[in-house]
Amino acid sequence: MALAHNANASVQRLIKLNDPAFTHLSRFLGTENSYHAFGAMEKPPVALAREIQLLANPASVASVAVAGNIEDVATNAPLAISRLGTAADDYAYILGMELIHAAQAIDLRLKENPGLALGKDTRALYDAFRKQVTFLDADRPLSDDFSRAHDFILAYQPK
């Protein structure tokens, strides 16, 4: 349940980063060299968040008598564990996509204000992430960026 709430919050933050009325940055965090930028990128995290929401439904409600009618209720623990694993992996993708947006917003903000200072930990995260996923200056397929961001989320260890 907590993953579903957090995934939804992450998606909402991601969508707000695309909104020039909120960020005062370009629409969909684009540049003068991009047309779509991150416009279509809202759909995958929304779909993943909805999947997490469905996976959060209790597996135990679909139980039947088992063990020769000795056990009236089954926990369906294997199904619950499988759902949790899928939801956690989906959430890592969502967080990666949110980080792609946040890094792009930082880059655009730095172009406007080169003196902008990032906090020490934010700078470390940003620098490490930018080694894996580069700035989107012109439109390109984003599937590889999604995968690299997902892997980064799973592997990153703050110092």
For residues 83 and 77, give the distance between their C-alpha atoms in angstroms, rounded to a whole number: 10
Q: Is pLDDT at 41 greater than 90 in this prediction?
A: yes
The Cβ of residue 85 has, within 10 Å, a number of other Cβ atoms equal to 11
Domains of the chain (ranges; CATH) run 1-155 (1.20.200.10)
DSSP codes, 101-113:
HHHHHHHHHHHH-
A 10 A CB-CB count for 43 gives 9
Per-residue pLDDT reduced to its tens digit, 94-148: 999 999 999 999 999 999 999 999 999 999 999 999 999 999 999 999 999 999 9
Q: What is the pLDDT of residues 64-75, one digit of tens each?
A: 777 777 766 777
* SS3 state at 86: helix
Q: Quick one: average pLDDT of 50-73?
A: 82
Give dist(CA 38, CA 17) in Å, integer.
10
pTM of the model: 0.92
Query: How far is it, in rounded angstroms, from Cα 95 to Cα 150?
Result: 7
How big is the chain by its Cα radius of gyration, in Å? 20
